[in-house]
Amino acid sequence: MQTRTLGKDLTVSAVGLGCMGFSHAYGAPTGKREAVQLLRQAVEMGYTFFDTAEVYGTPENPHINERLVGEALAPVRNQTVIATKFGLRFDFESGKVPRPLIPDSRTEAIRRSVEGSLTRLQTDHIDLYFQHRIDPRVSPEEVAGVMADLIREGKITHWGISETDEEYLRRANAVCPVTAVQNRYSMMARHWETLFPALEELGVGLVAFSPMANGFLTGRYGKGERFDPQTDYRAAMPQFTDEAVDQNQKLLALLRRMAKEKSASPAQISMAWMLCKKPWIVPIPGTRKEERMKENAGAAEVFLSPEEVKSLEDALDSMEMSPVFGGTGITKA
């Protein structure tokens, strides 16, 4: 697979693998043996960039995703880039699904988190350590100062921020240079494009999560879809309702038309659009199927000219779309 550079010097595969779905939010967790096997198959396909977090898990096993990633990648650790995250826990007591989020980026919490993640990931350093969500109680300067300390100590080599705005990014970057921002970004969620000028100015990459709008842009979901409301966040996502399927027909038709022209799939087009838009964007689609991993990797081989990217964007700008899942709410700690 082709590679890209995040920030100044972090080289990753052009498409990364979001590992959350093996353990969290998309139905019953994948069995350990199967998950480890799929992660190792991803390496064989050319993936070098793997994204996890300390909170991806279940109430019974809240850190299982990091453990899976650590075990799977241990034999090839020197060939891979692992991103994980700190500063967030789920409110399991609320009984709500999707589960509310509780941010905590106090220095002592970060210190506990990094040691736990290093152990679970079976590694002596984390390649890209993301603040999972902004904690309104802690300044960006304080968080960045802890990151600078962790880099000096060799426990992390790069850091980033998820779901950040421009002011927070600039203040944090002034203390310790930020390598990447990880924000929700897809053809159905483009609000973070307002951050792009700052990313270009500062030399910060964008790791795009949910690049296919939680799978909707694959074109494989129609009316009557049913998801387990206790384990699958898609049950509460507005883009999967029957009404949304009707609202989004023009979008799906656009993807299918371009896919036919490029001998690609709609999923590949949805990611090729962002890959060809900026050289510093790296999507991290998640999947639990070998054939989908191969398909997603193939998005890096689909070329769209600047004119084709603009044509797609002009169409998106004037197109009716349903609401799309925008993330779960923040609960005060």
The phi, psi pair for 270, rounded to 5°, reads -60, -30
Contact between 16 and 53 under an 8 Å Cβ cutoff? The reply is: no
Rounded to the nearest 10 degrees, what angle do helices 107-120 and 64-73 cross at?
40
Query: Which one, of 273, 252, 311, lies nearest residue 190 by Cα?
Result: 273
| Cα→Cα distances 186→270, 280, 310, 322, Å | 7, 15, 15, 13
Number of residues written out for the chain: 333
Cα torsion 225, 228, 229, 234 to 10°: value is: -50
Bridge partners (DSSP) listed for residue 83: 51, 128
- Do residues 4 and 49 lie in contact, with contact meaning Cβ atoms separated by under 8 Å? no
- Alpha-carbon distance of 311 to 309, in angstroms, equals 5
Pair 75, 45: CB distance under 8 Å:
no
d(C-alpha 151, C-alpha 63), whole Å? 23
Q: What does residue 315 show for φ and ψ, rounded to 5 degrees?
A: -65, -45
Instruction: Decide if 56 is catalytic.
Output: yes
Tokens 């792009």, residue located: 196
Out of 47, 56, 221, 233, the active site residue is 56
* 28/230 Cα distance (integer angstroms): 9
Tokens describing residue 205: 């990459």
Amino acid at 106: R
Coil, strand, or helix at residue 93? helix
Residues labelled as active-site residues: 56
